[in-house]
Chains A and B, each alone.
Chain A
Amino acid sequence: MAGEERNVILRTEGLTKHYGGVHALEDADFELLEGEHVAIVGDNGAGKSTFVRQITGVERPTAGKILFEGREMEFHSPVDAREAGIEAVFQNLALADDLDVPSNIFLGREETYFNLGPFSFLNEKKMLQRSQEALEKTGVKIPNLHNSIANMSGGQRQCVAISRAASFASKLILMDEPTAALGVQETTQVENIIRGLKERGIPLILVSHNLRQVFNLVDKIWVFRRGRIAGMLEADKTDGNEVVSLITGVQSGVHENASYI
């Protein structure tokens, strides 16, 4: 490859998370370049979601450093991460069922007319308009934005969550198994949204179990195994067998007759 120097946007050094005795994430050194789309793969319980939660400020790491745009960050809450320009779509959809689409898109960062603390008046008009724009930008069509989320299909809900993240993300977006519960059509739509992000140059970390999807969408594949980073592979220089052998920890060399995929 050409020797173009791309900036590192996100780096973790020795990132570790223990839940009591459970070593969910152990000494993870991870790196993401500007404009890069990468996948995180690994078996159930490998620590993928745990990693996402440390980066997005949902939890505080037990040890290790998170460097974002070269600066060491300490996120005390998801708000801190968001203010830094990091958005996420979590595995368990972080949506409020009884609220409508604009309320969900703007949840926790409502537009208001003037600041009266918690009693600030909501600018529903602006939120509706901005939601429409956000959905348009991601190509999502939802007929009635004032329906509560509970009355929508799984695909629509997922699209709302992704549009929310995609429309606010300025520097980095993380998606934890965004298509796990979706049908073929919805999956295609989500993948299109991801391609749109690539065109916009917004870096992405995609957690997925779907290797076909991973190979279609990303530049690099980071493999997690039992809380540790087992390795990183460049998507165009590897194949499914190699990825699977890293996931399972079975010695490379067996991969010729692997039948996992």
Chain B
Amino acid sequence: MANQAQAVSGSAADMPQKRPRSHELNALLGLVGIALIFELLGWIFQGQSFLFNTQRLSIMILQVSVVGIIAIGVTQVIITGGIDLSSGSVVGATAMIAMSFAQVSTYPRAVYPELTDLPVIVPILVGLACGIVAGMINGLLIAFTKIPPFIATLGMMVTARGIAKWYTRGQPVSFPTDSFAALGQGMTPVFVFLAIALLFHIALKYTVYGKHTYAIGSNEQAARMSGINVERHLVLVYTIAGLLAGLAGMVIAARGLTAQAGMGIMYELDAIAMAVIGGVSLSGGRGSIVGTLIGAVIFGVIISGFTFLRLDAYYQEMIKGVIIVAAVVADMYRQRMRPQSR
């Protein structure tokens, strides 16, 4: 081993080395592999192509997009070394509350009969506010009471679901105005997802916000000693995650033209799975929006592939569980493969 002409020890880490293959590239290769397997299985068992079917693909992309919006927020939370289990319930609560401000006057049983036909900005602001409040409560609890994120967001998960059910005593909220419904029609959810992804890709990669998010997940103590206001930053990150869950809730409600208290159940786990499949490390400090984007598509391809193969829905649930655990195991394996520096 050639010593690099320096006083510092000549360990292998001194050598200018090629960067290891990125998790994003690995995930992309995985995506291609999985898609090809389904293509092959399609021809064997269904006698048709899996990939070359625009209808199937567009349904898949739509499904991925809604949960993907949540996954963008969850990715940032996980990079700080935290977790957000409340997003699915925040989706439910936001869908109900936002929808109640978006109803048409021609519907006789509106939640607020005197508040119908409101301009679309009202329910959107209400929905975003719901998400922000939920996320901010998570963030404040985690940053200032030092409750583990798992527990704090578990509490929010139960509470927000309770609010969703209590809000109309379990009755669905339907008949939105056309302008609110437009939020979920056609390919709008996909565009919303991609716009959000691009926005936070830039924020994480090119701004101080991103640098501090990674720093906190890497070494919270170091971040604090370097003068980063860790508490304020965590509140910001969890608030953004809540806001995005709220946005997803509105998109789902608009798409289905109805809001129900049970909406978004288990979405938090799907979102976490997308992030982890895409290389976001549950131990914090590593991951990217691009990775989560690829993870989301992988997740969508697997679910849509199993539907395509007419796999029983029960099996699909079980396999989802296996995928999540497998992604986490893969992450832990990568952890152990990291060079130990100390």
Question: Which positions in A face B, CB cutoff 8 Å?
Answer: 58, 77-79, 82, 90, 92-99, 103, 107-110, 112, 116, 118-122, 139-144, 146-147, 149-157, 159, 181, 183, 185-186, 188-189, 192
Does A144 lie within 8 Å of B9, measured CB to CB? no
Assembly CA distance A92 to B222 (angstroms)? 9
Q: How far is the CB of A178 from chain B (nearest CB, A)?
A: 14
Identify which of residues 213-229 in chain B touch chain A, using a CB-to-CB cut-off of 8 Å.
Answer: 214-215, 217-219, 221-229
Q: Does B285 count as interface, using CB distance less than 8 angstroms? A: yes
Does B208 lie within 8 Å of A98, measured CB to CB? no
Q: List residues of chain B with CB within 8 A of the CB of A189.
A: 7-8
Assembly CA distance A91 to B322 (angstroms)? 43
Q: Does B59 count as interface, using CB distance less than 8 angstroms? A: no
Does A58 lie within 8 Å of B13, measured CB to CB? no
Q: How far is the CB of B228 from chain A (nearest CB, A)?
A: 5
Q: Does B286 count as interface, using CB distance less than 8 angstroms? A: yes
Question: Which positions in B face A, CB cutoff 8 Å?
Answer: 4-9, 11, 13-17, 19, 203, 206-209, 211-212, 214-215, 217-219, 221-229, 233, 236, 285-286, 338-339, 341-342
Q: In chain B, what residue has the closest Cβ to A93?
A: B222
Does B225 lie within 8 Å of A78, measured CB to CB? yes
Does A154 lie within 8 Å of B7, measured CB to CB? no
Known contacts A118-B208, A118-B233, A121-B206; A154 and B342 CB within 8 A of each other: yes
Q: How far is the CB of A66 from chain B (nearest CB, A)?
A: 18
Q: List residues of chain A with CB within 8 A of the CB of B236.
A: 118
Given contacts A108-B227, A153-B14, 12 further A-B contacts (CB under 8 A): A78-B224, A78-B225, A94-B219, A94-B221, A99-B211, A103-B211, A107-B215, A110-B208, A118-B233, A139-B7, A152-B13, A155-B8
Assembly CA distance A140 to B6 (angstroms)? 8
B8, B207, B223: the one contacting A153 at CB < 8 Å is: B8
A77, A122, A154: the one contacting B208 at CB < 8 Å is: A122
Q: List residues of chain B with CB within 8 A of the CB of A96.
A: 214-215, 218-219, 222-223, 285
Q: How far is the CB of B66 from chain A (nearest CB, A)?
A: 26
Does B223 lie within 8 Å of A120, measured CB to CB? no
Q: How far is the CB of A116 from chain B (nearest CB, A)?
A: 8
Q: How far is the CB of B208 from chain A (nearest CB, A)?
A: 5
A118, A159, A185, A186: the one contacting B212 at CB < 8 Å is: A118
Assembly CA distance A96 to B214 (angstroms)? 8
Known contacts A120-B207, A144-B17, A151-B341; A90 and B225 CB within 8 A of each other: yes
B5, B226, B338: the one contacting A94 at CB < 8 Å is: B226
Does A97 lie within 8 Å of B226, measured CB to CB? no
Q: How far is the CB of B334 from chain A (nearest CB, A)?
A: 12
Q: In chain A, what residue has the closest Cβ to B287?
A: A98
Q: How far is the CB of B238 from chain A (nearest CB, A)?
A: 14
Assembly CA distance A118 to B13 (angstroms)? 33
Assembly CA distance A149 to B11 (angstroms)? 14
B8, B16, B224, B226: the one contacting A144 at CB < 8 Å is: B16
Does A79 lie within 8 Å of B207, measured CB to CB? no
Q: In chain A, what residue has the closest Cβ to B225?
A: A94
Does B13 lie within 8 Å of A156, measured CB to CB? yes
Q: List residues of chain B with CB within 8 A of the CB of A107.
A: 211, 215, 222-223, 226, 228
A118, A186, A192: the one contacting B9 at CB < 8 Å is: A186
Q: How far is the CB of A57 from chain B (nearest CB, A)?
A: 9
Interface centre among B11, B16, B208, B224 (most CB of A within 10 A): B208
Assembly CA distance A103 to B204 (angstroms)? 13
Assembly CA distance A93 to B84 (angstroms)? 29
Assembly CA distance A45 to B22 (angstroms)? 43
Known contacts A78-B227, A183-B9, A186-B8; A99 and B214 CB within 8 A of each other: yes
Does A118 lie within 8 Å of B8, measured CB to CB? no
Assembly CA distance A108 to B223 (angstroms)? 7
A97, A142, A181, A188: the one contacting B218 at CB < 8 Å is: A97
Known contacts A94-B222, A156-B14, A183-B9; A108 and B228 CB within 8 A of each other: yes
Assembly CA distance A153 to B4 (angstroms)? 14
Known contacts A107-B228, A141-B6, A155-B8; A150 and B222 CB within 8 A of each other: no
Does A185 lie within 8 Å of B8, measured CB to CB? yes
Does A153 lie within 8 Å of B211, measured CB to CB? no
Q: How far is the CB of B190 from chain A (nearest CB, A)?
A: 25
Does B14 lie within 8 Å of A95, measured CB to CB? no
Q: How far is the CB of B196 from chain A (nearest CB, A)?
A: 15
Assembly CA distance A214 to B228 (angstroms)? 33
Does B227 lie within 8 Å of A109, measured CB to CB? yes
Q: List residues of chain B with CB within 8 A of the CB of A121.
A: 206-207
Q: In chain A, what residue has the closest Cβ to B339?
A: A151
Q: How far is the CB of B284 from chain A (nearest CB, A)?
A: 8
Known contacts A58-B225, A183-B9, A186-B7; A98 and B285 CB within 8 A of each other: yes
